[in-house]
């Protein structure tokens, strides 16, 4: 069965610092999909990125970047020049199914960005 681990329970940084959130996954499938979601204090789940297992290119979107390393089964998320609005819980998730089923979330990392 698939599993997602986010070893960092809570992280605090000061505004403008860079921060990396770790995600390690386990799966027996060769085809799978990885996701990051943000959950701000208001509670909704905000989609950030989807990556399939065949695409190991790193991705950058503004201040966000993701580092996918199949060799270490990791899909880490970096926020550059963090802002107070980045304060949220961030979830990494894994799906082994082509139709979005078998969706497993990690335990989440609570990021606090202090002014």
Partner 1 sequence: EPEVTQTPSHQVTQMGQEVILRCVPISNHLYFYWYRQILGQKVEFLVSFYNNEISEKSEIFDDQFSVERPDGSNFTLKIRSTKLEDSAMYFCASSGGSSYNEQFFGPGTRLTVL
CA atoms of 40 and 57, how far apart (whole Å)? 27
CB of residue 105 vs partner 1: minimum separation in angstroms?
4
Instruction: Assess contact for 94 and 4: CB atoms under 8 A.
Output: yes
CA atoms within 13 A on the CB side of 109: 25
Taking the least distance from each CB to partner 1, the nearer of 18 and 103 is 103
**Burial classification of residue 111, based on how many CB atoms lie within 10 Å of its CB (0-12 exposed, 13-18 middle, 19 or more buried):** buried
Burial of 1 (0-12, 13-18, 19+ CB in 10 A): exposed
List 37's β-bridge partners, or say none.
47, 91
- Return the number of the residue (43 or 62) whose C-beta is nearest partner 1: 43
Question: 15 or 22, CB closer to partner 1?
Answer: 22
* Least Å from the CB of residue 71 to partner 1: 22
In the complex, least distance from residue 77 CB atom to partner 1, rounded to whole angstroms: 16
Which residues are near partner 1 by CB under 8 A?
33, 35, 37, 43-45, 47, 50, 52, 91, 95, 97-108
CB of 54 to partner 1, least distance (A): 12
Whose Cβ is closer to partner 1: residue 37's or residue 68's?
A: 37
């Amino acid at each position: 069965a698939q599993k997602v681990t986010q070893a960092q329970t809570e992280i605090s940084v000061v505004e403008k610092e860079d921060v990396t959130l770790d995600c390690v996954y386990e799966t027996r499938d060769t085809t799978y999909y990885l996701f990051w979601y943000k959950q701000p204090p208001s509670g909704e789940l905000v989609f950030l990125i989807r990556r399939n297992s065949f695409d190991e290119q790193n991705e950058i979107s503004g201040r966000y970047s993701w580092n996918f390393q199949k060799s270490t089964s990791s899909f880490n998320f970096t926020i550059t020049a963090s802002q107070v609005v980045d304060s949220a819980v961030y979830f990494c998730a894994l799906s082994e199914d082509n139709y979005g089923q078998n969706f497993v979330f990690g335990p989440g990392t609570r990021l606090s960005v202090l002014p």
